């Protein structure tokens, strides 16, 4: 009689101790919709003026002026030190002066040469007072007033220059840009070579 009573008391004490210890709770699951680190990227915009000349067998010697705009995206934000690698989309339109051309019959007039393109760009440290800028890519120049109708010139475009930091997120770039391309002659017997050479002054802003 005594032995069963002792066993019952021991079992009851064990059950009470087990009930007093709470079971461990599972760790919280991460929320897939709230990442710990927000995406880090950068963005710039700039609008400015380019002055230069279109060189080839058709244009006369003279100056060609354009308004130029671009938007750029980078792998890191403006707060990241060191150079930034990114992609630049640009477009331009002739505003003056307009370069002249002379036809075989002696007729002369002016022409416009707008364009657009994409470049891989390398920009210096956004915090530096003066930093280098460089770019290489492909584009297109459109001669609206070409003597045989509108002419599109696919181009290889490259640029290099310097950036000066202004107040806050503002900056200004001074750069030289060159476009090179070829088109077939009207008889398709030869290629015409074209060069566009420009000096750009483009103020801009670091958006991010």
Give per-residue pLDDT as tens, 5-33.
Answer: 544 554 455 554 445 555 566 666 555 55
pLDDT tens profile 50-80: 999 999 888 898 999 999 999 999 998 888 8
Instruction: Identify the CA nearest to 51 among candidates 175, 180, 144.
Output: 175
Residue pLDDT tens, the chain, 208 long: 555 554 455 445 555 444 555 556 666 655 555 555 555 789 999 999 999 999 988 889 899 999 999 999 999 888 888 799 999 999 999 998 999 988 777 778 888 899 999 999 999 999 999 999 999 999 999 988 887 778 899 999 999 999 999 999 999 999 999 999 998 876 667 788 999 999 999 999 999 8
The H or E element containing residue 9 is helix 2-20
Instruction: Identify the CA nearest to 140 among candidates 119, 159, 155.
Output: 155
Distance CA 110, CA 102 (A): 9
If phi > 0 it is left, if psi is from -120 to 50 it is alpha, else beta; for residue 189 that is: alpha
90: Cα within 13 Å, side-chain hemisphere? 32
User: In CATH terms, is domain 42-206 a member of 1.10.8.60?
Assistant: no
Distance CA 34, CA 184 (A): 56
Beta strand 100-102 pairing with 84-94: unpaired
């Amino acid at each position: 009689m005594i032995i069963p009573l002792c066993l019952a008391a021991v079992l009851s004490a064990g059950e009470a101790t087990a009930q007093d210890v709470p079971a461990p709770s599972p760790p919280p699951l991460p929320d897939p919709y709230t990442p710990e680190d927000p995406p880090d990227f950068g963005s710039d915009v700039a609008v400015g003026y380019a002055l230069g000349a279109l060189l080839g067998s058709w244009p006369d010697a003279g100056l060609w002026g354009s308004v130029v705009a671009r938007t750029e995206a980078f792998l890191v934000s403006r707060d990241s030190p060191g150079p930034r690698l990114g992609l630049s989309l640009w477009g331009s339109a002739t505003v003056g002066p307009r370069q002249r051309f002379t036809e075989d019959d002696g007729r002369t007039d002016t022409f416009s040469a707008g364009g657009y393109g994409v470049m891989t760009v390398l920009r210096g440290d956004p915090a530096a007072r003066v930093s280098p800028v460089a770019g290489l890519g492909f584009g297109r120049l459109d001669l609206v007033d070409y003597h045989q109708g509108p002419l599109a010139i696919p181009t290889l475009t490259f640029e290099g220059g310097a950036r000066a930091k202004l107040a806050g997120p503002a900056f200004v770039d001074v750069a030289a840009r060159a476009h090179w391309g070829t088109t077939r002659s009207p008889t398709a017997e030869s290629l015409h070579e074209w060069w566009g050479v420009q000096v750009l002054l483009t103020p801009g802003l670091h958006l991010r």
